[in-house]
Chains A and B, each alone.
Chain A
Amino acid sequence: MRHIISILMENEPGALSRVVGLFSQRNFNIETLNVAPTEDPSLSRLTVTTVGDDRVIEQITKHLNKLIDVVKLVDLTEGNHIERELMLVKVKALGAARDEVKRTVDIFRAQIVDVTPSLYTVQITGDASKLDAFLQAMAPVGILEVARTGVSGIARGDKVLSL
């Protein structure tokens, strides 16, 4: 099963490589990875999506918690949560397809953020499956470049991941 694990870790050089290294060292799987500092500059928040059965996920969270740089973590998929990913896509927009792309962008509630005579750059946010669906819809027109941030997430309700 797919899990989204969010980690608060020391904003120190080398901390990220310890987390990433752990996954390869222990043969765990990383689907997406997203990391940036938080409002507290001494902390970074890292969100990783991974796939594994309960036993594997238990090991992943235990080993992550063991890293000295990891301060706190939560498996967001254990409860209700909001999951978002941002994607920038360059798609061909020539002739009749130009209007078609615009219409599809509207349907997906995406935005065109840059324009040239031959292409549109589209910005779209949502969960991973929405982004996948948009790519699928654009495939016949011609996708030129894709930049995805990887999943970020937060728990619904009063639950807070902080110190």
Chain B
Amino acid sequence: MELLSGADMIARFLQDEGVEYIYGYPGGAALHIYDALFRQDKVKHILVRHEQAATHAADGYARASGKPGVVLVTSGPGATNAVTGIATAYMDSIPMVVLCGQVMSHLIGDDAFQETDIVGVTRPIVKHSFSIRHPSEIPEVLKKAFYLASTGRPGPVVVDIPKDMTAPTERYEYVYPKKVKLRSYNPVTRGHTGQIKKAVEMMLKAKRPVFYTGGGVVTGKASEGLTDLVKQLGFPITTTLMGIGSYPQSDRQCLGWLGMHGSYESNMAMHHADLIIAIGARFDDRVTNNTSKFCPTAKIIHVDVDPSSVSKTVRADVPIVGPASSVINEMISLVQGQAITHPEALTDWWQKIDGWRAEREGKLYEPSKPGEVLKPQEVIEALCRVTRGEAYVTTDVGQHQMFAAQYYKFDKPNRLITSGGLGTMGFGFPAAMGIKQNFPEDDVVCVTGEGSFQMMMQELSTCKQYGVGVKIVNLNNASLGMVRQWQDLNYKSRHAHSYMESLPDFHMLIEAYGFTAITVRTLDELEPALERAFANKHELVFLDVKVDPHEHVYPMQVPLGAMRDMLLSKTERT
């Protein structure tokens, strides 16, 4: 039997749980825990420069590795600063455990110094939360927190820890709980066999089928199975933004991603389909456009591990509640050796799809002419070439995010790391940091814009402290591009507060931290600059790429329209 203080239990538990990195920022209520971390060397603590960055870094790590990210912050402002990152993880179903210091138990409710009811504040944006009420319950509560965060539909779990629970003077028995049981929480482990059979029958009989797969396939580690299933059937597949890479994008059967800025062929195929096989996707409004006009001729099979996602916005004809991987595997075994009923219809369907593809080929954007300002799209295409499509690409939010998702070709899951649900500006850079520390030999690049980057640029200091060699591609159009685009389209180009009047000299800024910055203005400078940036894996390099501020992201679905209603350029629409 081992007697440990609450703070030492936390440090010990994190070791026993196999946590390698935690991201955090110290403060009064968390100091006992920080002292316990100081007295051990297995769990590495990364000191960020703002708690929001701690959550994004842990989130990026979780997305890339599939393991829960861990955050440690102090009470009050430390905890509230983490809120945006917790909400980001919640919306994208990312496993995360956030340990928050809290004022001493006897002060709770007194408006004590640095007191915030963080359990209350985060209640709508967590999978669950705990408050520690006695030091002896720390191991069990932490085990539950990790278990909840990483099973079923993953999500963030907050653990509120009053300072007296971690006092060094009070010691209790510590045993690492190997198992955990919650009587009210039993995530499904497999789908209903009858429903799966019914779904497969419909798939075999379909004439115009489309797979529509989302982040659930990525977090559910079901990409390989999905690829097998889709290839066996020979059906077209489109993914959501979060599902990018769940099926190799360079494969002919992949139509790209769908929705508001999805590919023309994806949205057209969805609209005309007679069967949609949705797996790990949640029919989000950025995908469906107007739900009453959504895919008028399609029957819908919906596989999701979370029953509340099924029939939430669009009614499923065949709902299947279960983890993507086991349902897909069952589908594969049922499909094996079976022939599709209407092979000629599928051939016609592919002809139609190839026709849509051909319509837009070479028309996606107009490349810059020699000596002219660069187009953001060509920067991403060059980035993809230079990194051979193998980098971890994180993004912030806005036009650059859409361009990165449209023009970088991802063949693997977990490679596009982006805030899809919440759309958090400032996410990309700290997320890249979290990934790079865990995958030091891989290329990790943050595609950002000068608006988003300035929301979290203080993390340059963290990168300096820990020698984090991420690359930053700043698509600098000196304006908030996506806001500006909407203002162009809906507000007669009245650019209310969407321009950046006084940008810093990024070159000097980056050099002030001791890093390399390269400014890129023309096409002939672009690839050499990228080559130089990626030459050394362990060096942070910032590319300030001046791009055309007048460029818009297309296709763009027409608001309140159907999937097929799209603006295709500034002058064309469907």
Q: Which residues of A contact B (CB under 8 A)?
A: 9-10, 13-14, 17-18, 21, 25, 55, 58-59, 62-63, 65-66, 68-72, 163
Contact = CB atoms under 8 A, between A and B. Distances in A.
Contacts of B119: 14
Contacts, number: 38
Interface in B517-563: none
B131 A25 contact: no
Contact of B131 (A13, A59, A69): A13
Contacts of A9: 184
A58 B307 CA distance: 10
Contacts of B131: 13-14
A66 B186 CA distance: 10
A62 B312 CA distance: 10
A71 B185 CA distance: 8
Nearest to B128: A68
B123 A10 contact: no
A94 B123 CA distance: 51
A17 B124 CA distance: 10
Given A10-B184, A17-B123, A68-B148, A55 B308 contact: no
Q: Which of B124, B308, B311, B315 has the most CB of A within 10 A?
A: B308
B133 to A, nearest CB: 8
B183 interface: yes
Contacts of A13: 131
Nearest to B123: A21
Contacts of B306: 66
Contact of A59 (B124, B127, B128, B308): B308
Given A14-B119, A17-B123, A21-B124, A63 B184 contact: no
7 contacts: A10-B184, A17-B120, A17-B123, A68-B127, A68-B148, A70-B184, A163-B183
B1 interface: no
A9 B148 CA distance: 17
Contacts of B148: 68
Interface string B296-335: 0000000000111001100100000000000000000000
Given A63-B308, A71-B183, 17 more contacts: A9-B184, A10-B184, A14-B129, A14-B131, A21-B123, A21-B124, A25-B124, A55-B311, A58-B311, A59-B312, A65-B307, A66-B306, A68-B127, A69-B184, A71-B184, A72-B184, A163-B183
A57 B48 CA distance: 44
A66 B183 contact: no
Nearest to A69: B184
B182 interface: yes
B275 to A, nearest CB: 22
A62 B307 contact: yes
Contacts of B123: 14, 17-18, 21
A70 B307 CA distance: 15
Interface in B175-203: 182-185
A68 B185 contact: yes
Interface in B121-141: 123-124, 127-129, 131
